[in-house]
Structure 1
Amino acid sequence: MNKYLALLCLLLVGCLLIMMGLNMIAATDEQQNAVTTVGSEAWCDAMVETPNSQWTEQTTQDFARHCLYE
C-alpha cells in the first residue's frame, strides 16, 4: 500500500512540474507575441531601443504610423 501511495505522490509531483513548465512556456510566447505585433506598445518600446541602422523603410513607416501618430 505504501509503495502505491509513494508512486502516486511522485506521479502527482511530476504532473505539477510539467504543468508549471508549460505555463512558463505559454507566458514566454505571449510576451514574444506582444513584441512581434507591429504597433503594440511592447513593439514600439523595442523599436526605440533598436539602432536606427537596423531599421528598414517598412519598419520606419510602421513606427511612425503606430507609435508616433496614434
Structure 2
Amino acid sequence: MKKFIALVSVFAAVLLVGCAPEVGSDKWCENMKNKEKGDWTANEVRDFAKHCVFK
C-alpha cells in the first residue's frame, strides 16, 4: 500500500510540474508578478530580472 501511495504522489507531482509555464514566458512573468515577493526563491528573482525586466 505504501508503494502505491508513493507512486500516486510521484505521478501527481509530475502532472503539476508539467502544467507550470516555461520560465521566462509571458505567462510565467505574469504569475511571478502576482506571487508574494517574500515567497520568491533566489533563482526566481534572477530569472525574473533576466527574462521579465531586462528582455
Same fold by TM-score, threshold 0.5 exceeded? yes
**Relative contact order (alpha carbons < 8 A, sep ≥ 6): 1 or 2 greater?**
2
> Equivalent pairs: percent with the same residue?
34
Q: Which runs of 5+ in 1 are unaligned?
A: 1-32
Structure with more helix by fraction: 1
1:54 pairs with one of 21, 39, 42 = 39
Q: TM-score, normalised by structure 1?
A: 0.50
Q: TM-score, normalised by structure 2?
A: 0.63
Structure (1 or 2) with the larger CA radius of gyration: 1
Aligned length: 39
Q: How big is the alpha-carbon RMSD for the aligned residues of Structure 1 and Structure 2?
A: 1.9
